[in-house]
Amino acid sequence: MKTSDFYYDLPEELIAQTPIERRDASRLMTLERETGAVEHRHFYELPDFLRPGDCLILNDSRVLPARLLGQRVPGGGACEVLLLIDRGEKTWECLVRPGRKMRAGAKLSFGNGELTAEVVGEVEGGNRLVRFEYEGIFLEVLERLGKMPLPPYIKEELQDRERYQTVYSKHVGSAAAPTAGLHFTPELLEKIATMGVGVGYVTLHVGLGTFRPVKEEDILDHEMHSEYCVISQETADLINETKRRGGRCICVGTTSCRTLESWAEEDGTMTAKAGWTSIYIYPGYRFKVMDGLVTNFHLPESTLIMLVSAFAGRENVLSAYEEAVRERYRFFSFGDAMFLR
């Protein structure tokens, strides 16, 4: 199967640059997996498609304000550091710019010296290891100095950084938001729980690899990035009980899907687990747990549109995307949503 099999034509003006005023007022396209039939609704109508006894699984990872703008010292040239993975002992794996001037030994300063750093190494692929020095708690320093690491296709400055967090975000560690969850409000979650749908949480810290295009012609040649994820005993129990009673397990976002499918037994049984996953889901994959998926519209030729195609059928998905373009849906992180059922 070729990467080009997952291409669709998207006018640039349909890429959402800012979040809409009310989270759950975004549009919702429903796609029936068996027939390919679509419906045009709004996200606040999602409960219409849920049933008592189902469970909804959400990713409660919180985005780190991981983009730091500073200067190289001495000299004062501008630099940019994007935190990716905490490697311990105040050292992070980072993307840096300008790369040619930030080799081992380079010293950096942020916030008039409130935060300083030194490049201490380089890893395979070109990312740098950067060791930071600061007073107090690192996350509090980042809250003051860091910016949200918005995807490269968003050119507008984000006015309210909480709009790039889900309302239930809890565990800090993502380099990008689990965007399917951005549509939920506390009131909508309460309505869903009140109707008898179980609500459970997993944690997957989203890496920037989620935006990395597939450059290989054959999709099997693509090397998937790794992300850290956790499923608690409470959530595992909720899923197992839901399945035992004949309910559906509905994932909010590809991140929740990847977490469950990474740790599920072949018979779909879930157990509590934590670790790194590099699961790569494309057409031909047999889903062990997921029965429904709430997700945004994804980039052409990305691993995410491959995952969605594995679940709902490539022809169905591309046909639905073409209709979304015709109907002027908003695409990507701040865009509209789909419910695959």
Sequence-separated (6 or more) residues with CB below 8 Å from residue 191: 47
Q: What pTM value is reported for the model? A: 0.92
Q: Residue 96 class from Cβ within 10 Å (0-12 exposed, 13-18 middle, 19+ buried)?
A: buried
Contact of 70 with 110, CB cutoff 8 Å: yes
pLDDT tens across 167-211, in order?
999 999 998 999 999 999 999 999 999 999 999 999 999 987 776
Q: Is 247 exposed, middle or buried (0-12, 13-18, 19+ CB in 10 A)?
A: buried
Coil, strand or helix at 140: helix
* Token pair in block for residue 293: 């998926």
16-43: per-residue pLDDT in tens? 999 999 999 999 999 999 999 999 999 9
Residue 125 has pLDDT above 90, yes or no: no
* pLDDT score, position 85: 87
Q: Is the pLDDT of residue 155 over 80?
A: yes
Distances (CA, A) of 145 to 74, 148, 289: 20, 10, 41
pLDDT band for position 69 (cuts 50, 70, 90): very high
